[in-house]
Structure 1
Amino acid sequence: MNDPAEGNGRRVLVVEDDRSLRALLKDALTDEGLDVGGAASAEEAMAFLAEEPVDLVLTDLRLPGADGLELLRWLRGRKSPPAVLLVTAFGTIDQAVEALKEGADDFLTKPLDLDHLAVRVARILENRRLRQEVARYREALEGDDFHGMVGRSPPMVALFRDLAQVGRGQGPVLIQGESGVGKELAARAVHEEGPRADGPFLAVNCAGVPAALLESEFFGHVKGAFSGATRARPGLFQEASGGTLLLDEIGEMPLKLQAKLLRVLQEGAVRPVGKDRPTKVDVRVVAATNQDLREAMDAGRFRADLFYRLETFRMVVPPLRERGEDLELLAARFIRRHAARLGRTPPRSGSEFLDALRRYPFPGNVRELDNALERAVTFAEGSTLEPRHLPARILEAEADRQRIQGGGRGESRETGGGSQEPSGSDSPGAARTGNPPGGPHVPLAALFPGEKLPSLRELEHSYVRLVLERTGGNKRKAAGLLGISRRTLYRRLEDGTPEGG
């Protein structure tokens, strides 16, 4: 029998003590494109299956020694058991029905019709494939690990489903998302869900390779192609042949190389530097970026033809701030992992610690959360994590948030406003009047006493400017407090100029 990985869900073991019938069944199923092995007894089959998994066991019910029913029971007790198709004589149909109750998928009676056998085997294998696919989706819905990605929020469940579906294809994939959301993990999921899972997965950062070496790095070179090329070297496309190549930060790729990448995607061949003839490659390309490629395309920094070629399968990994309950799920995992590396019991997350995490927008997304929790676990002295264990930027953002929400109440206290209630969510005044934590509710009408009301665009622009003033012009802090990326902040500042202003 061939390597199980080569069968791709179509591996069958025939268990039959009659040598000539066993050979006939093996030949018939091999002709159907299946990967088929054989065993003469249940004991021989058990020894075989202990070493090499299969997708379907086709077994006679009557065998020397342990019979087909005992083999079925042994298979049901194994992890990820194969499907079972029983072959029985007319006089043992009652036993076959009993076997169905114990988990067999189907049974056939002798004498066998080989065409009918092929149809039943194909149907069982397809049903098994569908059950496995449903199981993967169920794991995603329950928040289990999906190729290293963790989440049970609706955006992530939808992403897991899309990654599994796209993984079955062969065309190029474009993965977009902010920095730190997990685009490489998404690319690996595409690779591991597809037919190339046993092939190589290589990743290269397009912004991290010197411009002079880009072509050689991607496509390879022959000996003497340029100064210092003392030997021939395969490029990333050749090394990833049979697998997947992730081109991270594709938006940073020079236009000249973009044209050559497009040719590779169209022709399935590369031309190493210094070589006249192209070399065939079999690679699935996954591109990732945190840029708006349409904007780059409009600005002339990215080729339109390459963009439309990559956009066939486009995935967007959501930012952490849009993933709701996933933050606590991720936090628990990161805390366990960092505690294990330090050889200590994972500390408990205090309520104030979790509140600080929930309020911070994490512009650096999952990567920033991971780094923050690594620091917190390292600096925690006791068994409980507290806000003071978090990085200074998170504490500063929390202080800024409270200052902005508090407005000018601090000045009133200092200038003798004796009736002023203390600020914060524990204020008894806030509890009596129904004010939200962090500041009193001000009716919008009080902000605009005149008849002329500002447009939403003007109001947004003014608020962004206010936050910038309160943060001393620090755009990183302002973006964090507004819950948007710095790129979006710049766009708000550019596009938000009031009309006539």
Structure 2
Amino acid sequence: MLEMSSPRRLLVVDPFEDCHQLLPGLQSIGWSVDSCSLESVIDRSCDVGLFRLLPEHLERPDPLKKMINRSGTQWIAVVSPEVLNLKNVGDFVYEWFFDFHTLPFDVPRVEVTLGRAFGMARLRDHVVNLVETEGHELLGDSRSLRELRKLLGKFAPTESPILIRGESGTGKELVARTLHHQSLRHDKPFVAINCGAIPENLIQSELFGHEKGAFTGAHQRKIGRIEAANGGTLFLDEIGDLPLELQASLLRFLQEKHIERVGGGEPIAVDVRVLAATHIDLEAAIQSGRFREDLYYRLNVLQVSTVPLRELHGDLSLLANHFARFYSQETGRRPRSFSEGALIAMGNHAWPGNVRELANRVRRGLVLAEGRQIEAADLGLESHTTTQQAMETLEDYKHRAERQALCDVLHRHSNNLSVAAKVLGVSRPTFYRLLRKHHIR
């Protein structure tokens, strides 16, 4: 639950005469007021900021944009009637500020505006605190993510090979990096290679390296990925795409702990911890002769499975907000929240591309959004007329509606299940029973 009784901190940038007349009244109703220059804002902590927007800020906006993006707070623009009439000032204020106030100050209106901004700042801080959790890189508060992080915490300190399984886009490389960062090798190299992205005739050289003159075009010695990872972690992504000939060479390395560069005859000792990942059914690949069974057992000492996004209902909005903040730096726009329609559309979407698809859609949404919020259409999730299907039973409709209600309330109140249960009008034990019934969280 959000705590709303904390001191309300107001930062005034480059205060002017009108501000000095306003501040005593704000202090009398509980605002803690501080002031500073634009250059030193980054060193100050506040909930809400007042900034007087001048023509020079519109002519050279980059310092102001940087300040707003890095400060992580809600800003109120203070503008004179003259500035308000300048070209494009409305678009700029709408894009970068929570609200604006025209001089001279209307004290009651200022108090209301600051109060609304403070409430939004606390909500935003709550999301940021959930997203920027220290100690791991896997974001989410659902039961599935908590169990996955717990498992990684047990596996990370070991030296055993780990096979990471899961659908494409579910964060298998992120799991591998988390295992590395929590391992005893965290200060050593982490080297990743996608076995399905390198031409087959180059994989031998990429993995094991080559000596000068080993083949046409080998003008100098090349250190392979395995040797480059010495002392650290080697991550073999899409291991199921590794050609059979290379599977034999990799197995030999895992058994003997040394490699030979292409064109070389000297064995080179290499100490790495091997993590492998795949989205294909390796057992079926073994049956069809496309994957070596002995290599499978070498790699599959410990096993981790990632979770598809469609099973992380309570984490969807959390992840979407994380990507909105992350990609706002790239797009040069302030982070945006998601409209009710966008949240519903995301909840209804099957997410075949999983978290990678979510990241790409949010990135697109930030670029296309014209309002303060990202809409479903900005994400490319417009409502489409569905083709007519066979009639379902009444029980089917009830079951689907019940599940949708649970998903919708978790999007809004994933941080407080008591509130979620109250919104649905059921007791907390009943709410938990429904979550188990529909395999949610």
Higher relative contact order (CA 8 A, sep 6+): 2
- Return the offset for 1:145: 5.2
User: Does residue 355 in structure 1 map to residue 344 in structure 2?
Assistant: yes
Specify the code of the residue in structure 2 equivalent to 1:208: A
Equivalent residue in structure 2 for 1:159, among 137, 148, 152: 148
The number of equivalent residue pairs is: 272
SS in structure 2 of the partner of residue 245 of structure 1: strand
Equivalent residue in structure 2 for 1:380, among 357, 362, 369: 369
1:325 alignment counterpart: 314
CA distance in 2, matches of 1:437, 1:259: 51
- Return the offset for 1:382: 1.1
CA distance in 2, matches of 1:145, 1:361: 30
- Return the offset for 1:342: 3.0
2:331 alignment counterpart: 342
User: Does residue 399 in structure 1 map to residue 384 in structure 2?
Assistant: yes
CA distance in 1, matches of 2:251, 2:346: 43
- Return the offset for 1:171: 1.8
CA distance in 2, matches of 1:438, 1:303: 43
1:294 alignment counterpart: 283
Equivalent residue in structure 2 for 1:285, among 267, 271, 274: 274
Alpha-carbon deviations, 1:263-288, whole Å to 9, x = none?
Answer: 11111101111222311001111111
Specify the code of the residue in structure 2 equivalent to 1:330: L
CA distance in 2, matches of 1:146, 1:170: 20
Could you tell me which runs of 5 or more consecutive residues in structure 2 were left unpaired when the two chains were aligned.
1-128, 402-441
Equivalent residue in structure 2 for 1:197, among 186, 192, 196: 186
1:182 alignment counterpart: 171
User: Does residue 303 in structure 1 map to residue 292 in structure 2?
Assistant: yes
SS in structure 2 of the partner of residue 203 of structure 1: strand
1:148 alignment counterpart: 137
CA distance in 1, matches of 2:179, 2:379: 34
SS in structure 1 of the partner of residue 365 of structure 2: helix
CA distance in 2, matches of 1:329, 1:295: 36
Gap change, CA 1:435 and 1:229, over 3 Å in 2: closer
Gap change, CA 1:234 and 1:217, over 3 Å in 2: same
Superposition RMSD on alpha carbons, in Å? 2.7
Equivalent residue in structure 2 for 1:256, among 245, 250, 263: 245
- Kept after mapping to 2: 8 A contact 1:167/1:191: yes
Gap change, CA 1:189 and 1:144, over 3 Å in 2: same
Alpha-carbon deviations, 1:30-69, whole Å to 9, x = none?
Answer: xxxxxxxxxxxxxxxxxxxxxxxxxxxxxxxxxxxxxxxx
- Return the offset for 1:252: 0.4
2:262 alignment counterpart: 273
CA distance in 1, matches of 2:367, 2:225: 38
1:172 alignment counterpart: 161
SS in structure 2 of the partner of residue 247 of structure 1: strand
- Return the offset for 1:390: 1.7
Specify the code of the residue in structure 2 equivalent to 1:227: T
1:222 alignment counterpart: 211
Specify the code of the residue in structure 2 equivalent to 1:259: A
2:236 alignment counterpart: 247
Specify the code of the residue in structure 1 equivalent to 2:313: G
- Return the offset for 1:222: 1.4
Report percent identity of matched pairs: 43
CA distance in 1, matches of 2:131, 2:226: 37
- Kept after mapping to 2: 8 A contact 1:164/1:189: no
Specify the code of the residue in structure 2 equivalent to 1:299: S
- Kept after mapping to 2: 8 A contact 1:174/1:313: yes
CA distance in 2, matches of 1:215, 1:310: 19
- Return the offset for 1:143: 8.8
Could you tell me which runs of 5 or more consecutive residues in structure 1 were left unpaired when the two chains were aligned.
1-139, 409-429, 440-501
- Kept after mapping to 1: 8 A contact 2:238/2:278: yes
- Kept after mapping to 1: 8 A contact 2:369/2:378: yes
CA distance in 1, matches of 2:399, 2:157: 49
- Return the offset for 1:346: 2.1
CA distance in 2, matches of 1:189, 1:209: 24
- Kept after mapping to 1: 8 A contact 2:342/2:375: yes
SS in structure 2 of the partner of residue 371 of structure 1: helix
Specify the code of the residue in structure 2 equivalent to 1:245: L
Q: Normalising by structure 1, what TM-score?
A: 0.51
Specify the code of the residue in structure 2 equivalent to 1:188: R
- Kept after mapping to 1: 8 A contact 2:131/2:322: no
User: Does residue 206 in structure 1 map to residue 195 in structure 2?
Assistant: yes
- Kept after mapping to 2: 8 A contact 1:146/1:189: no
Equivalent residue in structure 1 for 2:303, among 311, 314, 321: 314
- Kept after mapping to 1: 8 A contact 2:131/2:139: no
CA distance in 2, matches of 1:141, 1:175: 25
Gap change, CA 1:221 and 1:142, over 3 Å in 2: closer
Q: Normalising by structure 2, what TM-score?
A: 0.58
CA distance in 2, matches of 1:338, 1:142: 14
Gap change, CA 1:175 and 1:404, over 3 Å in 2: farther
1:472 alignment counterpart: none
Specify the code of the residue in structure 2 equivalent to 1:375: R
- What does 1:44-193 align with in structure 2 at a 5 Å threshold? 144=133, 147-193=136-182
Specify the code of the residue in structure 1 equivalent to 2:174: L
- Return the offset for 1:340: 3.4
CA distance in 1, matches of 2:388, 2:335: 35
- Return the offset for 1:406: 8.8
Gap change, CA 1:182 and 1:146, over 3 Å in 2: farther
- Return the offset for 1:386: 1.6
Structure with higher Rg: it is: 1
- Kept after mapping to 2: 8 A contact 1:174/1:288: yes
- Return the offset for 1:179: 0.6
Specify the code of the residue in structure 1 equivalent to 2:384: A
CA distance in 2, matches of 1:197, 1:277: 29
